[in-house]
Amino acid sequence: MPKKYKYIRRRDAGKQGTVVCEQCGRVIPRHKAVCIETVESVVRDPALRRELEKRGAIVMAYPVKRCYCVSCAVYLGLVKIGGHAEKQRKLGKEHQLRI
Ligand SMILES: [Zn+2]
């Protein structure tokens, strides 16, 4: 289940450099990026990898760290929109209904 994105302001925010989003290529500050580590195999096809492992081959797997911008992380389902934005949207809807 995706967890809610929470922007935490830190004292050294903005001094940590930038990262490039893997999905859209946008340059974003490092403290704002959503980074996820996964273990990726050299053999991309899972069926082929299973076949090779069955025959006794040792298939290499290495950890990969991927960083996404907030909009791409929400689009991919890695994080949910934060509580504040959700509340604002609800308030906006209520406001529109009243008018
Ligand atoms: Zn992006």
Per this entry, what is the length of the chain?
99
Cβ atoms 5, 35 nearer than 8 A: no
Per-residue pLDDT at 69: 93
Per-residue pLDDT at 46: 87
10 HSE (CA, 13 A, CB side): 10
Centre of ligand 1 to C-alpha 9, Å, is 21
- Token look-up 């893997």 returns 22
Domain ranges for the chain, please list them: 3-98
Per-residue pLDDT at 99: 52
Centre of ligand 1 to C-alpha 4, Å, is 17
Centre of ligand 1 to C-alpha 26, Å, is 6
pLDDT digits (tens, 9 = 90+) for 62-97: 999 999 999 999 899 888 876 666 666 677 766 555
Per-residue pLDDT at 24: 94
Please state the pTM of the whole predicted model.
Answer: 0.62
Measured from the Cβ of residue 85, the count of other Cβ atoms closer than 10 Å reads: 14
pLDDT digits (tens, 9 = 90+) for 5-21: 776 666 776 678 899 99
| Coil/strand/helix, residue 92 | helix
Centre of ligand 1 to C-alpha 71, Å, is 6
Cβ atoms 29, 13 nearer than 8 A: yes
Per-residue pLDDT at 16: 81
Per-residue pLDDT at 40: 87
- Domain 3-98, CATH class in plain words: alpha beta
